[in-house]
Amino acid sequence: MDLEPTLTSLDRAQAHARTWLGSLNSRPVAPAQGPAELMAAFDEPLPEGQTPGADVVDLLALRAEPGLTAFGSPRFYGFVIGGALPATVGADLLTTVWDQNSGLNAVTPAAAAVEVVAARWIKEVLNLPGDATVGYVTGGMMASFTCLGAARNEVLHRVGWDVEAHGLHGAPRVRVIVPDERHATIDLALRYLGLGVDTAVLVPTDDQGRIDVAALRTVLAADPDAPTVVTLAAGNVNTGAFDDFTDAIPLAHEYGAWVHVDGAFGLWAAATPSRVHLSIGMEQADSWSTDAHKWLNVPYDCGLAIVANPRAHRAAFGVHAAYLLQTDAEPDPMELVPEFSRRARGFTVWAAMRALGRTGLAELGENLCAQAQRFADRFADLPGADVLNDVVLDQVLVRFADDDAVTRAVVDRVVAGGVAYFSPTVFKGRTAARISVCNAGTTEDDVDATVTAIAKVLAELV
Ligand SMILES: *Cc1c(COP(=O)(O)O)cnc(C)c1O
- Residue 233, domain CATH: 3.40.640.10
CA–CA separation, 14 and 9 (whole Å): 9
Task: Write out the DSSP string of 294-318.
Answer: STT-PPS--EEEEES-HHHHHHHH-
Q: 262 C-alpha to center of ligand 1: Å?
A: 8
Same domain? 49 vs 170: no
Phi/psi for 101 (5° steps) reads -90, 100
Contacts of 379 (CB under 8 A, 6+ apart): 385, 386, 387, 396, 398, 451
Q: Are 298 and 349 in contact (CB under 8 A)?
A: yes
Q: 361 C-alpha to center of ligand 1: Å?
A: 20
Residue (of 374, 394, 376) closest to 443 by Cα position? 374
Q: Is the CB of 434 under 6 A from ligand 1?
A: no
Same domain? 124 vs 198: yes
Atom 12 of ligand 1 has which residue's CA nearest to it?
264
| 380 within some domain | no
Task: Write out the DSSP string of 179-218.
Answer: ESS--HHHHHHHHHTT--STTSEEE-B-TTS-B-HHHHHH
Q: 37-57 burial, b if ≥16 CB within 10 A, otherwise e?
A: ebeebeeeeeeeeeeeebeeb
Q: 2 C-alpha to center of ligand 1: Å?
A: 42
126-140: pLDDT as tens digits:
999 999 999 999 999
Same domain? 288 vs 183: yes
303 Cα nearest atom in ligand 1: 7
| 379 within some domain | no
CA–CA separation, 385 and 369 (whole Å): 20
Q: Is the CB of 139 under 6 A from ligand 1?
A: yes
266 Cα nearest atom in ligand 1: 13
Same domain? 235 vs 121: yes
pLDDT at 327: 73
Q: 242 C-alpha to center of ligand 1: Å?
A: 15
CA–CA separation, 201 and 185 (whole Å): 16
pLDDT at 325: 74
Same domain? 62 vs 96: no
Q: Is the CB of 141 under 6 A from ligand 1?
A: yes
Structural domain for 30, as ranges: 4-70
Residue (of 267, 445, 277, 282) closest to 361 by Cα position? 267
Q: 137 C-alpha to center of ligand 1: Å?
A: 12
Q: 333-372 burial, b if ≥16 CB within 10 A, otherwise e?
A: bbbbbbbeebbbbbbbbbbbbeebeeeebbbbbebbbbbb
Final residue before a domain boundary, out of 352, 371, 389: 352
233 Cα nearest atom in ligand 1: 13
| 120 within some domain | yes
CA–CA separation, 127 and 17 (whole Å): 37
Beta bridge partners of 400: 385
Q: Is the CB of 143 under 6 A from ligand 1?
A: no
Atom 4 of ligand 1 has which residue's CA nearest to it?
140
CA 370 remoteness from chain centre:
20
| 239 within some domain | yes
Which residue numbers in the chain have pLDDT < 50?
none
Pairing of strands 201-203, 175-179: parallel
| 408 within some domain | no
Task: Write out the DSSP string of 53-87.
Answer: HHHHHHHHHHHHGGG---TTSTTB-SSS-----HH
Atom 5 of ligand 1 has which residue's CA nearest to it?
140
Q: 146 C-alpha to center of ligand 1: Å?
A: 13
CA–CA separation, 300 and 83 (whole Å): 9
Dihedral sign, CA of 388, 399, 79, 375?
A: negative
Q: Is the CB of 249 under 6 A from ligand 1?
A: no
| 388 within some domain | no
Q: Is the CB of 185 under 6 A from ligand 1?
A: yes
Q: Other CB atoms closer than 10 Å to residue 274's CB: what's the count?
A: 13
77-104: pLDDT as tens digits:
999 999 999 999 999 999 999 999 999 9
Q: 78 C-alpha to center of ligand 1: Å?
A: 13
Q: Is the CB of 262 under 6 A from ligand 1?
A: yes
Q: 358 C-alpha to center of ligand 1: Å?
A: 24
Phi/psi for 441 (5° steps) reads -90, 0
Phi/psi for 258 (5° steps) reads -90, 130
Among 237, 238, 295, the mutation site with the greatest number of ligand 1 atoms within 8 A of its Cβ is: 237
Q: Is the CB of 82 under 6 A from ligand 1?
A: no
pLDDT at 202: 98
Residue (of 118, 188, 182, 78) closest to 439 by Cα position? 78
| 262 within some domain | yes
CA–CA separation, 243 and 392 (whole Å): 12
Residue (of 139, 91, 138) closest to 111 by Cα position? 91
CA–CA separation, 211 and 202 (whole Å): 10
- Extract long-range pairs of 112-118: CB within 8 Å, 24+ residues apart: 112/332, 112/333, 112/346, 114/344, 114/346, 114/347, 114/349, 114/350, 115/333, 115/345, 115/346, 115/349, 115/350, 117/350, 118/346, 118/349, 118/350, 118/353, 118/354
Atom 6 of ligand 1 has which residue's CA nearest to it?
140
| 146 within some domain | yes
Residue (of 103, 24, 94, 31) closest to 323 by Cα position? 103
Same domain? 51 vs 99: no
pLDDT at 294: 98
Q: Is the CB of 78 under 6 A from ligand 1?
A: no
Please tell me whether residue 150 adopts helix, strand or coil conformation.
helix
293 Cα nearest atom in ligand 1: 7
Q: What is the tally of structural domains in the chain?
A: 2
Question: What's the predicted TM-score (pTM) here?
Answer: 0.97
Q: 365 C-alpha to center of ligand 1: Å?
A: 18
Q: 199 C-alpha to center of ligand 1: Å?
A: 22
Please tell me whether residue 242 adopts helix, strand or coil conformation.
strand
Q: Is the CB of 72 under 6 A from ligand 1?
A: no
Same domain? 263 vs 322: yes
Final residue before a domain boundary, out of 70, 98, 117: 70
Same domain? 14 vs 150: no
Q: How far apart are the first and last CA of the chain?
A: 66
Atom 3 of ligand 1 has which residue's CA nearest to it?
140
pLDDT at 428: 86
pLDDT at 326: 75
Atom 14 of ligand 1 has which residue's CA nearest to it?
264
Same domain? 134 vs 47: no
